[in-house]
Amino acid sequence: MNRKVKIGSMLYINRQDSPDMIREWVQMMADAKLKLLRLFVGWDLVEPRKSEWSWELFDAAFDEAQIQQMDVVPTLHHESPPGWMKVTKNAQDRFDLENEEYVEAAYIYVTQVVQRYRNHPALDSWIAWNEACLHVPYVESIVPAFQEYAQEYYGDIKAFNKVHYPQFDFFEDIELRHLTSVQGGPVPSLIEKIDWQRFCVHYLMKKLGSVIEVIRQADPDHPVHVNPHLLGQCMFPIGQSIWKESRITDFAGFSAHPVWHSTRYGEDDIEESISLFSALARSASCDPTRKFWASELQGGPAVFSGVRRGCPSPDEIDAWLSTIVNEGGNGIIFWCFNNRNGGIEAGEWALMNQSNQPSSRLRQVTDFINDLELSEEGEMNPKVEPEVAILYSEDNLILHYVSGSGSDEKSNPRNKESGADAICGAYRLFYNLGISADFVDEIKLTDSDFMKRYRLLVIPGNTVFSRMTAQAVEVFVKNGATVIADGMLGWKDANGQVIRESSEVERIFGARLNDIIPFAGRDSLYLQNGISIKTIDAWFVQVLLDISHSNTKIEGRWENGACGLTQLEHPSGGKAIWIGTSFFQSVFAFGVDKGVENWFAKWLLRESIQTEYH
């Protein structure tokens, strides 16, 4: 099935703008060949005074978009109160979503906007909450929500008590003082830190799900999506989960601002980061066609308002667009078309220049769109379906995040993003080899579709390896597929407790974890089957493996002769390979030379997949 790719931009409506100015902006967007028009329908702009509704600015945008044959994508902001409430400092500040009076007013705003435009011919879809995230506060009003989370997650108070130090008779006995030790203490409680991360996601999903339901009640006909950000990092401290968000929306989206979201990548690796973001959104999308959008893509200079400074060149704009399209993207929306007048982003991020004229960046976007139109009138043939999947374990990411210590630099193996770094390293290997890869979370891993779609699964840095996940992987390998894991596989469970026995891991890999020896610097793992190289770099830990199956082959040893790399070939032809060091995290931290890439491709991949690599 062919797909139509739409490219557009955010049009930022400033308080000082007039309907005539907005119509002129939309006309300029149409002149640049843009087809998607995203809008922030700010609460303060449509309800400037309590119960006084004003629509003329957005009516102008919608009506002119219809004339110009553009599709409008409104973004709602129920979480950010209008100025007349006098409870926040700017139009994007969050407010207390436990305040029932506020939430009632917020849902009235959402309903008013959706009812106003649900029948407009230019309406494409809704974004329910821009970069939906929350720093959940430690306040009394949040305790009932935590109690609800604990009951849903653990099911029984005995299960909760089994892993927590304070003991309770009922979930309702949990108080605020039982949550605050997550902030410090001589020996902070690991399980409280883990539970708080899981709760942040639970809480945001409840709030996001509620506003999506309000939208769908008012407009059941148009799709709803959201645009999570920080996709290459642990997203849970601010409640984000692209997998859970995708399951309550109609298709997946994401934000991709290199100066914000690609800062763990070198400046020469931005395309790789955008490829990863795209692959993650494509993999998580619950749309039957795997539809996804880059809902925000940096369009102009970030002088003061990014983690690092930067402005995309026309060549970079072209490369980013090509990357998203090649990964299967259906829509791309730049942030922004015009300049904001105020705030930290004033004068930054725009495709237009400081004279409000088309920049070289915008002209490159138009050239790209023209090239798309010449390619089967904008219809792109689907890319080759990946045969490779990388496990994206949320439980593992949380454990690494809360266990992390020291610098956040990639070169610190214990940094809090180490779980995400391992995932990014696995993706980097395939990206460098020209092999397309998908991601899969623990839930999708159990789908029958997963077994049919993929021939190779990579499990990068998974200290956490649940019984449910292991059982799914075992079926996968017994169906003749290949799995490659590294590091301290299956050492702990999702609550951070050591797993004393892991029969599933032993059945899959024919080996078990004997000991873990952390070390500083780099070491060497000596290969038995090196092809063109004899060693690969080891980093952070030597994982000593014991062979537990007669057919398991030792493929690599440490200098002292201890086993450090194994392979078990199952009767079905499926293979299970365990690399006894932080291999994938090391690839992201330091890169990998061509010799190791070739070893990975020629020996580890071998006959696992049909896709050719280069």
CA dihedral 587, 580, 601, 425 (to 10 degrees): -20
Contact 91, 57 (CB under 8 A): no
pLDDT for position 186 = 61
Q: How many beta carbons lie within 10 A of that of residue 531, not counting itself?
A: 12
pLDDT for position 531 = 66
pLDDT for position 451 = 86
Q: How far apart are CA 227 and CA 292, in angstroms?
A: 10
pLDDT for position 177 = 87
Three-class SS of residue 32? coil
Q: How far apart are CA 91 and CA 290, in angstroms?
A: 33
Contact 363, 413 (CB under 8 A): no
Minimal CA–CA distance to 23: which of 87, 66, 52, 53? 66
Q: Give the pLDDT confidence of 356-399 residue by residue, as tens digits.
A: 999 999 999 999 999 998 876 445 544 568 999 999 999 999 99
pLDDT for position 379 = 52
Q: How far apart are CA 180 and CA 17, in angstroms?
A: 46
Query: Which residue ranges of the chain lie beneath pLDDT 50?
Result: 1, 377-378, 381-382, 614
Three-class SS of residue 119? coil
* Neighbouring-strand partners of residue 72: 37, 123
pLDDT for position 185 = 61
Per-position DSSP letters for 305-367, written without gaps between them: SSSS-B---HHHHHHHHHHHHHTT-SEEEEE-SS--SSSTTTT-S-SB-TTSSB-HHHHHHHH
- Give the 3-state secondary structure percentages of the chain, helix then strand then coil, rounded to 5: 40, 20, 40
**Largest CA-CA distance found in the chain, in angstroms, rounded:** 78
Amino acid letter, residue 53 = W
pLDDT for position 501 = 81
Amino acid letter, residue 241 = S
